[in-house]
Structure 1
Amino acid sequence: MSYSETQRDPLELLFSEYVDRCRAGEQIDVASFANENPELKEEILELFPTLAALESFKKQGPPISDVDQQQIESGLQMGEYQLLREIGVGGMGIVYEAFQKSIQRRVALKVLPREFSRQKDRRERFMQEARTVAQLSYRNIVPIIDFGEADQRCFFAMRLVEGVGLDWVVLRRNQNSEPITSNEVLDHFQQQGVPLTGIDKETDEDDNDEDSLAFEFDYAAHSATQRAKQQPRWTLKPDSWKQIARIGVQAARALEHAHNAGILHRDIKPGNLLLDYEGILWITDFGLAKSEKELSITGTNDVVGTMRYISPERFHGQVDARSDLYALGLTLFELCINRPVFNQTNRSELMRSIIEGIIPAPRSINSKIPRGLEAILVKATAKQPTQRYQSAAEMIQDLRAFGRGLEVKPITQIKVRTKKNRNWLPGITIALLLLCLLEAYLLANYRVLFPRTPQVTTSVQMKAGALDQRLENLDRMYNQVTGRAISTDLTRTSPLLPLPDNQRNLMQTLLNLYRQLRKDNEQTGSVFTIEDIDNRIQFIRKLLS
């Protein structure tokens, strides 16, 4: 890549959050949102009004605010593509239904707004998305057909998926308990967005898949006359738990293919998973995707993606395939409870809940969720990556077992999470007190342990060894309090997060112990160890401030 990941600004993340909140029905204007994010207030006030107009949140469509938008609404021709209507937004690109004249087919055309097309880094990121998806060829990943530039706008063409995002499914199930059918999904797809022209649509061929929602129907009997008779291909009822498992299997299959190719999506969420008329699940919007090789080279600690679906370790600069599976687990969780798992609107509170792994037990929200499915959701969304599914293949195995009525292995290492599970803090407090007693003992018996004898060198070496061991013990305590290695935190470049109240007192005690250790260590003359301790003291002081 020709651009550095560390150059990615947080505007994409914030705009995605703004879109999600508006689509969920929250009444929030750009000025209010800017006040919630004072560090980027000027940029938000400058860019978001234009982006909001292009996004078209309201049913009546976006206002015609400039010549650029007027050209699009009049049926702008981009190369061989004629834009028909706006159907959504992905990252910083607007997605249109378009007609490709050369081979007479409809496509989805993702267009980078002109103001962004002029910015080299955004152009490169946009085209990188096309190059990334072009490397993947799989049934459940929306394929790239073409990409190029016309009228100072970058674009790429994708297969047109006649379906809806799972965010719409969650919202619809929350507002209406009636079953969702394939016909309703198709109707919503045809009615959504802003029509630009009126070209007729061709009919796609039906396609069967054992993991699709339509598989349980008699495919042979329905394939020829299905749409003519207006009989649904599939139905998603409030208690269609096996159908939710099928959705999970299809998404996990696509992620498995991407992960095997060394590509991480990094923005899995309901809005980026499309469910079509045939019950096929499609993953789209690879705008934040990165290869594992690129991530290892850049070593970035940037947090990108939609906040609500970012895994805890990503706030500490760590990301791998298990981070994508965590986001998929949250998505399936939301399909089961028909609302966001994290419903905090305050950004700091949301971040803290994610980092601390405060996720309620699925059955505590909806007692009708089968225990086998709950076990899958809990494992997929575990706070520690080591406790999650280690690969998409593992998750597929459990989801398919549940879908076939087989027993899912009970959770042995992961307890169903409630706030009561945070009883480890008193234990750490006791451990720190014991460490304090050890410190006091070492100080009181210093002359006994390290007497001034002619063999000064040997005594100093013994003392230095004891102090090194104390440093290791303190580092272990830091790991117990925060769940992170202090060596990792010392090298991180992303902003520090505020400590929860129940950790501040423990961290203050640790700071005092590090200070005492430094004082004792001065007598050994070990400059290297003193520098290590100073780094820790400065870091913890900054953390507490």
Structure 2
Amino acid sequence: MEAAPERYGSYVVYEQIGKGGMATVHRAELSTREGKQEVALKRLLPTMQKELVALFLDEARLLRYLKHPNIATTFDSGRVFGTYFIAMEYVRGPTLKELVEHCAVTTGSVPQAITLNLGAQLCDALDHAHNRCDEQGKPLGIIHRDVTPANIIISDTGTLKLFDFGLAKAKNTTEQTAVGVIKGKFGYVAPEYTKGTLDHRADLWAIGIIMYELLTSRRLFDGADAFETMMRVREMPIPRPSLANPQVMPALDEIVMTALARDPERRWPSAAAMRDRIHAVIARPGNTIDNQGVADWVRWV
């Protein structure tokens, strides 16, 4: 039996659709003059830790600068009944994590054309985030730090949506990460970050891992625990996707392996540069698929 809807300020809250270390996400509705608006309502879990409150408030502040088709739209944020919230676009569709796990036991790897399309959309989202400026025109220096398959949804129109900027770092955030503390999931954290160095290229490393996992339907860095995973990130020889999936073309191998260069100076210099290279490969015969084609394939699979 489903729980009765909850009234939370102006929102009617329905089923929980996600839960993380510091917040829950529920499907909710807001009544407007145009009718009912469906939203994803993220609410901070009860906590006495000032760091978690600061992270949540930093996310709310950063999200108002991010307005892009490939980033979940933020409608409102605030505090009701002593609980902080962020109201975001409700996106219907599977996460990339769900898609990869489903393909692993059904169809196998995600087709190259689909992977290229999703890779380009993800680069678009991060290029936007990395280059945002504040009201005075000063670069915000946003780094997502948690680009993972679980934080990406494919909508029913085939549009990729990146969300959860809860661990994002920027020049104007109030929460300062202590030296030696790593934010993000170890299997997607860049090697230089595990040693205390971080810039926007850490997000490009994560794109490389995600594209590898789409093409192979297997985790790249999957240790028995966090320490073993971190050591694999730092030291494990990185195989080309084509070793696990011989159908992967050399040009796609090159895109992924450049993103996975352990030396950031040998990685793609920006999300835009990586996206442009992906588009050059997409332009070749047989590699082009639009977002609607992605949506049709996701429904089929």
Q: TM-score range by the shorter chain?
A: 0.7 to 0.9
One-letter identity of the residue aligned with 1:332 = M
Out of 216, 219, 243, which is 1:340 matched to?
219
Q: CA 1:86–1:144 in structure 2 vs 1: closer, same or farther (change >3 Å)? A: same
Q: Deviations over 1:275-309 (max 9, x none)?
A: 111000011000011114669x8784421101100
Out of 65, 77, 87, which is 1:157 matched to?
87
User: Is the contact made by 1:166 and 1:273 (CA closer than 8 Å) also made in structure 2?
Assistant: yes
Q: Within 2, Cα distance between the matches of 1:294 and 1:128?
A: 6
Which residue of structure 1 aligns with residue 136 of structure 2?
Answer: none
Q: Within 1, Cα distance between the matches of 2:171 and 2:249?
A: 35
Q: CA 1:102–1:239 in structure 2 vs 1: closer, same or farther (change >3 Å)? A: closer
One-letter identity of the residue aligned with 2:163 = T
Structure 1 residue 102, shift from structure 2 partner = 3.3
Matches within 5 A, 1:278-427: 278-292=157-171, 300-405=179-284
User: Is the contact made by 1:356 and 1:383 (CA closer than 8 Å) also made in structure 2?
Assistant: no
Q: Within 2, Cα distance between the matches of 1:125 and 1:248?
A: 28
Which residue of structure 2 aligns with residue 98 of structure 1?
Answer: 28
Q: Give the alignment's Cα RMSD to 1 decimal.
A: 2.1
* % same residue: 32
Q: Within 2, Cα distance between the matches of 1:149 and 1:119?
A: 17
Q: Within 1, Cα distance between the matches of 2:179 and 2:67?
A: 28
User: Is the contact made by 1:357 and 1:383 (CA closer than 8 Å) also made in structure 2?
Assistant: no
The count of corresponding residues between Structure 1 and Structure 2 is 274
Q: CA 1:161–1:313 in structure 2 vs 1: closer, same or farther (change >3 Å)? A: same
Q: Within 2, Cα distance between the matches of 1:351 and 1:149?
A: 37
Q: CA 1:357–1:389 in structure 2 vs 1: closer, same or farther (change >3 Å)? A: farther
Question: Does residue 271 of the first structure (1) align with residue 140 of the second (2)?
Answer: no
Out of 16, 22, 35, which is 1:86 matched to?
16
One-letter identity of the residue aligned with 1:307 = F
Q: CA 1:347–1:124 in structure 2 vs 1: closer, same or farther (change >3 Å)? A: closer
Structure 1 residue 379, shift from structure 2 partner = 0.6
Q: Within 2, Cα distance between the matches of 1:269 and 1:385?
A: 19
Out of 80, 95, 98, which is 1:168 matched to?
98
Q: Within 1, Cα distance between the matches of 2:121 and 2:156?
A: 15
Structure 1 residue 346, shift from structure 2 partner = 2.9
Which residue of structure 2 aligns with residue 254 of structure 1?
Answer: 125
Q: Within 2, Cα distance between the matches of 1:239 and 1:94?
A: 30
User: Is the contact made by 2:180 and 2:196 (CA closer than 8 Å) also made in structure 1?
Assistant: yes
Q: With the length of structure 1 as denominator, give the TM-score of the two structures.
A: 0.48
Which residue of structure 1 aligns with residue 60 of structure 2?
Answer: 130
Matched residue of 2:77: which SS? strand
Q: Within 1, Cα distance between the matches of 2:20 and 2:215?
A: 25
Matches within 5 A, 1:53-202: 73-103=3-33, 104-113=36-45, 115-116=46-47, 118-177=48-107
Question: Does residue 243 of the first structure (1) align with residue 114 of the second (2)?
Answer: yes
Q: Within 2, Cα distance between the matches of 1:119 and 1:294?
A: 17
Structure 1 unaligned residues grouped into runs of 5+ = 1-59, 62-72, 179-237, 407-545
Report which structure shows greater RCO (CA 8 Å, sep ≥6).
2
One-letter identity of the residue aligned with 1:315 = T
Q: With the length of structure 2 as denominator, give the TM-score of the two structures.
A: 0.85
Q: CA 1:394–1:93 in structure 2 vs 1: closer, same or farther (change >3 Å)? A: same
Pick the structure with greater CA Rg.
1
Q: Within 1, Cα distance between the matches of 2:280 and 2:20?
A: 33
Q: Within 2, Cα distance between the matches of 1:393 and 1:100?
A: 36
Q: Deviations over 1:451-474 (max 9, x none)?
A: xxxxxxxxxxxxxxxxxxxxxxxx
Which residue of structure 1 aligns with residue 288 of structure 2?
Answer: none
Matched residue of 2:219: which SS? coil
Which structure is higher in strand share?
2
User: Is the contact made by 2:58 and 2:173 (CA closer than 8 Å) also made in structure 1?
Assistant: no
One-letter identity of the residue aligned with 1:93 = A
Which structure is higher in helix share?
1
User: Is the contact made by 1:330 and 1:341 (CA closer than 8 Å) also made in structure 2?
Assistant: yes
Q: CA 1:150–1:292 in structure 2 vs 1: closer, same or farther (change >3 Å)? A: closer
User: Is the contact made by 1:142 and 1:284 (CA closer than 8 Å) also made in structure 2?
Assistant: yes
User: Is the contact made by 1:292 and 1:320 (CA closer than 8 Å) also made in structure 2?
Assistant: no
Q: Within 1, Cα distance between the matches of 2:222 and 2:121?
A: 26
